[in-house]
Structure 1
Amino acid sequence: MFGYYFKLALRSFKRNKVLTALMVLAIALGIGASMTTLTVFYVLSGDPIPQKSGKLFYVQMDPATMDGYVAGEDPQSQMTRFDSEALLRDKRGDRQAMMSAGGLAIQPEKQGMTPFTVESRYTSSDFFDMFDVPFAYGQGWGVKEDEARERVAVITKDLNDKLFGGNSVGKSIRLNEHEFRIIGVTEKWRPTPRFFDLTQSHYGEGEEVYIPFSTSRALKLGSSGDMTCWGDEPNDDPEGSNGLNAPCAWIQYWVQLDSAEKEAAYRRYLINYSDQQRKAGRFERPTNTRLSNVMTWLDENKVVPGDVRLQTWLAFGFLLVCLLNTVGLLLAKFLRRGSEIGVRRALGASRRAIFMQCLVEAGTIGIAGGILGLGLAMLGLWAVRQQPSDYASLAHLDPVMLVTTLVLAIVASLLAGLLPAWSAMQVTPAIQLKSQ
């Protein structure tokens, strides 16, 4: 029966080409606009590490002085070096990593290649296992390399191919006039958003070189990103704000806790640590610690741009307007065929059959509108990729959004066809036959 109704729908389209084209275009424009913005929102608001997002926690505490203190406000968004290294030594989590961003100058040995700078990450050994960083060659360093402040490095495959063209594990790379031994090459890895360090670009490409945090401090390499300081910096520390005892928060600290019991225990540990530091005279403010999993941390920082949210709502508002226009066009089309429907009813067609016939016709319009809307959505995403935003290159239609586009088009057209189909099935055969 569905096939028969589908054939009737195609015949109806041929008889009313202009009206059908208008309805298909209305559906397509609404679907194209809404799916363009929805796809961007879907990409930007997704879980960057779904297999672990509930086990990875961002650590916060408040080591600042009482100057400017406001009760109930959030703790510092980053950690001091002293507290980060203390927590790292205690090893209370299944894994833990302290980190900061930086920039390094590379002096290539490749003939004809001039020096250039790359973004880098100074971190500890658990970083790669915690965040499931994939490797093309080699592996990350271990605790021994951290403690010995060894000059080892992990680089990305893109940088590896640029400098060496093949497996570079065991080779040397010159960073800021210092020789480092390459021990690992990562595959393409771009969590979206870059949840582990929100002080940098939320959706950028990420760093190209990773070295031990301890080594970066031994070599006094410069860091980048936000830094919050209070009180007076120690005059005897050659590293200034980056020194061990500097009253500055500039380090991101993550911990992996594989069970709810371990999470609860770690929360208690943070409170106890804060209390101990207050007794020692380092902390002045009341205990204010926080442990946020990945998605909570992203929500607290409102990572998805506000204009993307607004555009999504506006696009779905436009889709609603398009559906209302489609309702009017379908209503006009079905009621214009009152005599045809009356004859069918007189020949024994039930109201249900008329209703289903009209819905199949509306759904067919939705399929056509969805296919055209899919093309418009791809065009819209291409336009997004031309923008200078850091997330522009991520705007692609994946299989999930492809199916969503077609389903949304069909569902939207069926909803638009409900009122016209209900009106059409109310046609009285006697009145229509008498008017002939």
Structure 2
Amino acid sequence: MFRYYAWLAGRSLRKNPALTALMVIAIGLGIGASITTLTVLRVLSGDPIPQKSAVLFHPQIDPADIDDWHEGEEPPDLIGYVDGMNLLKAGKADRQVLLTGGNAVIQPEGSALDPFRTEARFTTADFFPIFDVPMLYGRGWTAEDDERRARVAVITRSLNDKLYGGANSVGRTLRIRGNDFQIVGVVDHWRPTPHFYDLVTGNYAEVEDVFVPLDVGLDLKLGRNGTMNCWGSGGGADPEHSPDCVYMQLWVELGTPEKRAAYMTFLNNYVNEQRALGRFPRPNSVKLRSVMEWLDYQKVVPSDVRLQVWLALGFLVVCLVNTVGLMLAKFLRRSGEVAVRRAIGASRREVFAQFLVEAGAVGVAGAGLGLLLALLGLWAVRQQPGDYASLAHIDLPMLLATLALALLTSLVSGLLPAWRACQVAPALQLKSD
């Protein structure tokens, strides 16, 4: 029966190509606009590390002086070297990592490449296991390497391809600003989106090319990248190690809610202990946000993107209403045909099913057009200068969503016209004809 309904639908749609085209265009425009904005929103608001986002937390404490303090004020987003190291060495979490952005001037071996600058990450050994960083070759460095300030480095696959043609570079020497580092690992393709572990360097920034131990990067003054906030004396001659400056990110892994509660207690106790030593003059203001809570607090998703989604969905509703009107006009013009079918024995249910199949056919065509428009829209997004623009690609789930949304839209559009067509009284219609 479905094949027969499909044949009837095809014949009907070919009878009036202009009206058919208008319905397909209406659905296609609505679907294209909606899928484009929904894809961008999905990319921007996705979980960057879904397997661990519920157990990774960003601690915040407030060591600043009392000047300009206001009740209810949030603690700084960043942490200083002294407090970061104190919390790190306390070892109260399953894993913990301290990190900051940096620079690396790479001096390639030989003369094939000129020296060049790239982004670096100064961090501690747990960076690689805590964030589930995939390794192509080798491994990350160890806590012992941190302690002895070993000059070791981990590089990304893209930098490994550039310097070593993709060969296993573990054990080779990487020269950074005149200092030799031994490569111990190569990171495979990895780009968490958003760049949650350090939003200072960009909400949707690419992963840094070089990772070196935190103390080594600071001691050699390779060049720090990011925000630094100081108070009081302004950090003095060595702000990177001053207790009066914050510029780092601290992340901890806590596997259970009980461990999270215990770590909150530990943070409050730490603040109280430091206050007894003459620091932390402000009232306790301690926060411990998970990955998704942190992204929400930082308002990572641009507000204009959410607005665009609502506007696109509103446009889809307008297209839906227009399609309803077009289908209603088309179906009611076929009252005579419906009357004949009813007179020779077709039930209202069969007539209703016939018109829904026709509406579904319009939806399939609208889905094809909508997909093409969505691909065009995403291409236009990728031409924008924003750091997230290159991420705007449609994937399989959104491809399936396009088809499902188009079919749903067309079927919903066809419900009222199909129902109205079923209400035709065969005897009266045949008599009037």
Q: For the residues of structure 2 that align with 1:256 and 1:276, how far apart are their CA atoms? A: 23
CA shift at 1:100, angstroms?
A: 0.1
CA shift in 2, pair 1:110/1:29, >3 Å? farther
Q: How far, CA to CA, are the matches of 1:204 and 1:5 in structure 2? A: 52
Map 1:24-423 → 2, pairs under 5 A: 24-165=24-165, 166-233=167-234, 235=236, 238-239=237-238, 241-243=239-241, 245-423=242-420
Instruction: Tell me by how many angstroms 1:206 deviates.
Output: 2.0
- Give the AA of the match of 1:242: E
Secondary structure, aligned partner of 2:199: coil
Deviation, 1:258, is 0.8
> What's the offset of the Cα at 1:65?
0.8
The CA distance in 1 between the partners of 2:86 and 2:388, in whole Å, is 36
- The gaps in structure 1 that reach 5 residues or longer are none
Aligned residue for 2:409, secondary structure, equals helix
What CA distance in whole angstroms lies between the structure 2 residues aligned with 1:180 and 1:296? 37
Query: Match of 1:417, as an amino acid?
Result: G
**Residue pair 1:367, 1:410 contacting (<8 A) in 2 also:** yes
8 A Cα contact 2:156 2:209, kept in partner: yes
Q: CA deviation at 1:177?
A: 1.3
Please tell me the residue identity of whatever aligns with 1:102.
G
Structure 1 position 278, deviation (Å):
1.1
Partners of 1:66 and 1:204 lie apart in 2 by 34
Aligned-residue offset at 1:217? 2.3
Write the letter of the residue equivalent to 2:65: T
The alpha carbon displacement at 1:112 in A equals: 3.0
| CA deviation after TM superposition for structure 1 residue 246, in Å | 3.6
Cα distance in 2 between the residues matched to 1:110 and 1:25: 59
* Pairwise CA distance, 1:205: 1.4
- Cα deviation for residue 220 of structure 1 reads 2.9
Contact 2:83 2:243 in 1 (8 A): no
* Aligned 8 A contact 1:173 1:180 in 2: yes
Q: 1:234 to 1:311 in 2, by over 3 A?
A: closer
Structure 1 segments, 4+ long, off by >3 Å, are none
Distance 2:159 2:235 in 1: 38
1:149–1:218: 8 Å Cα contact kept in structure 2?
no
Compare 359-368 and 47-56 and name the one that shifted more: 359-368
TM-score (norm 2): 0.98
Residue type of the alignment partner of 1:135 = M
Secondary structure of the structure 2 residue equivalent to 1:255: strand
Deviation digits for residues 380-401 of structure 1 (CA, Å, limit 9, x no counterpart): 1111111111111111110000
Aligned AA for 2:252?
Answer: V
Gaps of 5+ in 2: none
Would the aligned equivalents of 1:152 and 1:180 in 2 still touch at CA under 8 Å? yes
Aligned residue for 1:79, secondary structure, equals coil
Secondary structure in 1 aligned to 2:201? coil
- Asked whether the equivalents of residues 233 and 246 of structure 1 are also in contact (C-alpha less than 8 Å), the reply is no
SS in 1 for 2:247: strand
Q: How far 1:233 moved relative to its partner?
A: 3.5
Q: Percent identity?
A: 56
Please report how far the alpha carbon of residue 234 of structure 1 lies from its aligned counterpart in structure 2 after TM superposition: 5.1
Q: Deviations over 1:97-148 (max 9, x none)?
A: 0000011111111323111101000000000001011111110000000000
Q: Distance in 1 between matches of 2:290 and 2:251?
A: 9
Aligned length in residues: 432
Residue identity in the other structure for 2:21: A
The letter for the 2-side match of 1:349 is: A
Distance, in Å, in 2 between the alignment partners of 1:233 and 1:380 is 48
1:245-303 C-alpha deviation (Å, 9 max, x unpaired): 34111000000011111111111111111111111111100111110000000000110
CA contact under 8 A between 1:355 and 1:421: conserved in structure 2?
yes
Q: After superposition, give the CA deviation of every residue in 1:315-348 in whole Å (9 maximum; x if it has no partner).
A: 1111111111101100000000011111111122
1:102 and 1:167 map into 2 onto residues whose CA distance is 25
| Aligned-pair CA distance for 1:367 | 0.8
Say which is worse superposed, 132-141 or 4-13, in terms of deviation.
Answer: 4-13
